[in-house]
Chains A and B, each alone.
Chain A
Amino acid sequence: MSQELKDAMNGLAARAGSHPEPDELAAYHGGELAPERERRIQDHLAACRECAGLLLDLDGLADPDFGAESGLAGKEVVWQSLQEKIGKREVPAPIVPIRRPALSSPRWIQALAASLLVATIGLSLWVASLQGKLKELTAVEANVPPINLYSGTARGEGSPTPSFTVSRKVRFQTFILTPHGPRRNKYQAVIERSQGEGIWRGWLEPNEVYSLSLGLSPQALGAGEYRIHLLDEDGKPIEDYVLHVTDP
Chain B
Amino acid sequence: MDDPAESVQRIIERLQASPASREEDFRRLFDLYYPRVYHFFVRRGFSPQDCLDLTQETFLGIYRGIGTFRRDARFETWLFKIATNAYRKRLRWGAAEKREGREVPLESGEDPEDGTRNEPPTPEASAGDAVLRQERSQLLREAVGRLPEQMRRCLMLRVYQEMKYREIATLLRLSPETVKVHLFQARRRLREDLGPYFHDAIPEEEVS
List the interface of chain A (C-beta within 8 A of B). Answer: 1-2, 4-14, 19, 22-23, 25-26, 29-31, 39, 42-43, 45-47, 49, 52-64, 66-72, 74-75, 77-79, 81-83, 85-87, 90-92, 94
Q: Say whether A57 contacts B40, CB under 8 Å.
A: yes
Say yes or no: A67-B162 contact (C-beta < 8 A), given A4-B136, A26-B77, A83-B23: no
CB-based contact B157/A10 at 8 Å: no
Instruction: Collect the chain B residues with CB atoms within 8 Å of residue A11's CB.
Output: 114-116, 137, 141
Q: Are B84 and A78 in contact (CB under 8 A)?
A: no
Which residues on B sit within 8 Å (CB–CB) of A45?
Answer: 153, 157, 171-172
Question: Contacts of A54 on B, CB cut-off 8 Å?
Answer: 80, 84, 87
18 other A-B residue contacts (CB within 8 Å) besides A7-B116, A7-B137: A4-B137, A4-B140, A10-B160, A30-B77, A42-B172, A49-B161, A61-B37, A61-B79, A62-B74, A63-B36, A66-B40, A67-B35, A70-B35, A75-B34, A78-B52, A78-B55, A82-B63, A86-B22
B178 to chain A, nearest CB (A): 14
Q: In the complex, which range does the number of interface residues on chain B fall in?
A: 35 or more
Nearest-Cβ distance from residue B174 to partner chain A, whole angstroms: 10
Interface pair A70/B39, CB less than 8 Å apart: yes
Q: B201 to chain A: closest CB distance in Å?
A: 4
Q: Residue B170 at the A interface, CB < 8 A?
A: yes
**Closest CB-CB distance, B86 to chain A, in whole Å?**
10
5 interchain pairs (CB within 8 A)?
Answer: A7-B137, A12-B144, A42-B153, A52-B157, A75-B38
Q: Is the CB of A2 within 8 A of B36?
A: no
* Contact (Cβ within 8 A) B81 A56: no
Query: Does the CB pair B160–A61 fall under 8 Å?
Result: no
Binds A, one of B25-33, B93-101, B122-130: B25-33
Tell me whether B13 is interfacial, beta carbon within 8 Å: no
When distances are taken between beta carbons in the complex, the residues of chain A under 8 Å from B38 are 67, 70-71, 74-75
Taking the complex as formed, is B70 at the interface, i.e. its CB lies under 8 A from any CB of chain A? no
Residues of chain B contacted by A14 (CB below 8 angstroms): 112-115
B163 touches A71 (CB 8 A): no
A123-B152 Cα distance, complex, nearest whole Å = 96
Chain A residue numbers with a CB within 8 Å of B26 are 86
